[in-house]
């Protein structure tokens, strides 16, 4: 049973269209650290298109994070055309009113892939938060097997606890980052992007000091973390994904003032370079138990919302 | 029994002078990440002088790393004068010939503290390596209880495996750093300095990928790691010390080419902010077993050499 049949059966989205041709798509997250190649090999966006079902896929772009949505839309239009994806369009989704427009919701429900551009993650969440489009995106991912991609701001919103902004500090300290609520497609993680290029480890550690229950996920530019739900994690592109696990950390964050530095003891770090794939149920596993635990937190999707 | 009596008894340094007035000095390492305050509170250099025995201490400066030894010497002269240390001088130790000069060796044997300036750690080691001055420095520290300090290049040489140079890369990879042999006063560590300011975590990780048996020690500017041998570790100044423990790391470093990124799984990180002190035999210990293990590696001095 494919996604649209399922939705039609559920009655959740009664406008859901006809079934698409058999596709290879699988409900995955393609979380890009920004500045992905759109001119040369386009490896990451090519793989995103593949996850959505290839040339037959219906891919829709969400540019609500961007201050230049038309320019961004034209850029991605050229990319997906070059990749042979005929059915690509940017959604007219720029305001909270748009986020309740039945035509937009119908497009979201029928998409094989939704890709969120860069820009400002707070602006993107202002447009989407608790709107029908927010619910439609969750439905598409959770119930429909729609592939969700996002770059930069579109990556930041993947987690529930989202870094809204904050400077690339030298050392972990309190009150460095302001956080907000993201889409929550990742259940137990917090994503930071442009990670190595903008030297954001201390910013991510600052966030985790206050939320050590979350898994820190730092994604480099032109690099994607692909999360195949319930199954595997893969790194694509040019850089690395850094996982920061504070599960067993001891810190003095509750004792220090806002301006003081934080002591963080027992933080576990994994650097996963592009080209590596981690299938969780592989036996025998060739990695430490700590990585196994981190991967299982990544592949477990957040709850359906909206 | 103080250091000079001990040396006289051992006959190791027959020129060793008369015993100094009772001092509070203890054989410690004061390892400074560069750019320590020399104009305001001078906290780190003040504490170094205290470790050497305070105002009565005989402190000698080694400027062999520097390309401007006279300017550097004048700067430290002013600092230690301001701190009330009357018996301060720069050693005339700029060449390998100087490093065999009996007058220099006598000064080293009689010093309560030896401080190594910044500059180029390779130049410093070229002057000292396997010379009588190298032996005298080891004797002073190991047998004599002399306090050894060093900043920047003078910090890098503290470990046996020394980072000679290397760019602040974005991600860990092979062939990033060139390493050389340092003084080996730390037995199982490798020190990097200007750590947070120059964003050197990836450079340190690149070094540790090839030498995971070593403990990575990243020291920030205007920050000192004080190692009280056999006993405690303290962080002074403005920044943090980052310990990077790769004991249980799994990496693919043996499988990748020079230009490829390295997968590093299960790296353990501790950030120790200025003002914190860790006495290893404190019971109960309030920190993770992994930190305890790291601290024990730090307080264990390297072997006597020379």
Residue with the two structure tokens 């080419």 = B257
Q: Which residues of A touch B263 (CB under 8 A)?
A: 271-273, 276
The verdict on a CB contact (< 8 Å) between A171 and B220 is yes
Three-state secondary structure along A182-246?
Answer: CCCCECCEEEECCCCCCCCHHHHHHHHHHCCCCEEEEECCCEEEEEECCCEEEEEECCEEEEEEC
Contact by Cβ (8 Å): B301, B160 = no
Give pLDDT tens digits for A103-141: 999 999 999 999 999 999 999 999 999 999 999 999 999
Q: Which of A36, A107, A221, A228 is catalytic?
A: A221
pLDDT at residue B19 above 50?
A: no
Of A170, A171, A266, the CB nearest to B290: A266
C-alpha to C-alpha distance for B303 and A304, rounded to whole angstroms: 61
The verdict on a CB contact (< 8 Å) between B290 and A261 is no
Give every strand in the sheet of A28-32, ordered side by side.
A87-90, A58-62, A113-116, A147-151, A28-32, A223-228, A232-237, A277-279
A3-299 to CATH, choices 3.40.50.1820, 3.40.50.880, 3.40.30.10, 3.50.50.60: 3.40.50.880
pLDDT at residue B18 above 50?
A: no
**How much is the pLDDT for B25?**
60
**How much is the pLDDT for B138?**
96
Residue with the two structure tokens 């401007």 = B68
Q: Which of A266, A275, A293 best probes binding to B when mutated, by most B CB atoms within 10 angstroms? A: A266
Q: What is the pLDDT of chain A when averaged over all its residues?
A: 90
The verdict on a CB contact (< 8 Å) between A240 and B265 is no
**Closest-CA distance of chain A to residue B124, Å:** 29
C-alpha to C-alpha distance for B7 and B108, rounded to whole angstroms: 12
pLDDT at residue A250 above 50?
A: yes
**Closest-CA distance of chain A to residue B196, Å:** 5
- Domain segments of chain A: what residues? 3-299
Q: Are strands B264-273 and A264-273 parallel, antiparallel or unpaired?
A: antiparallel
Quote ipTM for the complex: 0.89
B3-274+284-297 to CATH, choices 3.40.50.880, 2.60.40.1180, 3.40.1130.10, 3.90.1150.10: 3.40.50.880
The verdict on a CB contact (< 8 Å) between A271 and B288 is no
Contact by Cβ (8 Å): A104, A92 = yes
C-alpha to C-alpha distance for A266 and A251, rounded to whole angstroms: 9
**How much is the pLDDT for B233?**
96
pLDDT at residue A22 above 80?
A: no
Q: Which of A35, A170, A257 best probes binding to B when mutated, by most B CB atoms within 10 angstroms? A: A170
Contact by Cβ (8 Å): A119, A65 = yes
pTM confidence score: 0.90
Tokens of B124: 């410093």
Check residue B169 and report its DSSP letter: -
Give pLDDT tens digits for B103-140: 999 999 999 999 999 999 999 999 999 999 999 999 99
Give pLDDT tens digits for B206-225: 999 999 999 999 999 999 99
Tokens of B207: 């070094």
Residue A306 pLDDT level (bands cut at 50, 70, 90):
confident
Three-state secondary structure along chain A?
Answer: CCHHHHHHHHCCCCCCCCCCCCCCCCCEEEEECCCCCCCCCCHHHHHHHHHHCHHHCEEEEECCCCCCHHHHHHHHHHHHHHCCCCEEEECCCCCCCHHHCHHHHHHHHHCCEEEECCCCHHHHHHHHCCCHHHHHHHHHHHCCCCEEEEECHHHHCCECEEEEECCCCCCCECCCCEEEECCCCECCEEEECCCCCCCCHHHHHHHHHHCCCCEEEEECCCEEEEEECCCEEEEEECCEEEEEECCCCEECCCCCCCCCECCEEEEEEEEEECCCEEECCCCCCCCCHHHHHHHHHHHCECCCCC
Residue A25 pLDDT level (bands cut at 50, 70, 90):
low
Q: Which of A199, A265, A290, A293 best probes binding to B when mutated, by most B CB atoms within 10 angstroms? A: A265
**How much is the pLDDT for B119?**
97
Of B264, B271, B276, the CB nearest to A271: B264
Q: What is the pLDDT of chain B when averaged over all its residues?
A: 90
C-alpha to C-alpha distance for B155 and B66, rounded to whole angstroms: 13
Check residues B276 and B3 and name the one with the higher pLDDT: B276
Give pLDDT tens digits for B148-191: 999 999 999 999 999 988 898 999 988 788 889 999 999 899 99
Q: Which residues of A touch B205 (CB under 8 A)?
A: 271
Quick one: which of B234, B269, B184 has its CA closest to B32? Answer: B234
Tokens of A95: 């305001």
C-alpha to C-alpha distance for A87 and A93, rounded to whole angstroms: 18
pLDDT mean over A178-202: 95
**Closest-CA distance of chain A to residue B119, Å:** 23
């Amino acid at each position: 049973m494919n996604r649209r049949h399922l939705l039609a059966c559920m009655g959740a989205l009664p406008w859901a269209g006809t079934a698409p041709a058999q596709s290879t798509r699988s409900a995955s997250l393609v979380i890009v650290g920004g500045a992905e190649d759109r001119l040369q090999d386009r490896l990451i966006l090519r793989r995103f298109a593949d996850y959505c079902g290839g040339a037959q896929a219906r891919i829709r772009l969400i540019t609500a994070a961007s201050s230049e949505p038309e320019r961004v839309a034209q850029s991605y239009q050229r990319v997906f055309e070059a990749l042979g994806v005929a059915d690509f369009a940017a959604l007219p989704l720029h305001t909270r009113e748009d986020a309740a427009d039945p035509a937009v919701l119908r497009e979201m429900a029928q998409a094989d892939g939704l890709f969120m551009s860069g820009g400002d993650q707070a602006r993107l969440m202002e447009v989407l938060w608790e709107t029908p489009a927010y619910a439609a995106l969750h439905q598409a991912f959770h119930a429909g097997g729609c592939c969700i991609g996002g770059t930069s701001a579109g990556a930041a919103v993947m987690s529930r606890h989202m870094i809204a902004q904050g400077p690339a500090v030298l050392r972990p300290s309190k009150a460095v980052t302001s956080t907000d609520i993201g889409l929550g497609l990742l259940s137990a993680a917090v994503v930071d992007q442009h990670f190595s290029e903008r030297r954001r480890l201390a910013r991510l550690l600052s966030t985790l000091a206050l939320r050590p229950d979350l898994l820190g996920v730092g994604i480099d530019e032109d690099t994607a973390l692909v999360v195949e739900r319930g199954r595997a994690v893969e790194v694509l592109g040019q850089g690395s994904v850094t996982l920061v696990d504070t599960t067993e950390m001891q810190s003095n964050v509750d004792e220090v003032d806002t301006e003081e530095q934080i002591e963080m003891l027992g933080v576990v770090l994994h650097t996963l370079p592009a080209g590596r794939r981690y299938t969780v149920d592989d036996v025998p596993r060739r990695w430490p138990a700590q990585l196994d635990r981190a991967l299982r937190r990544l592949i477990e999707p957040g709850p359906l919302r909206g």
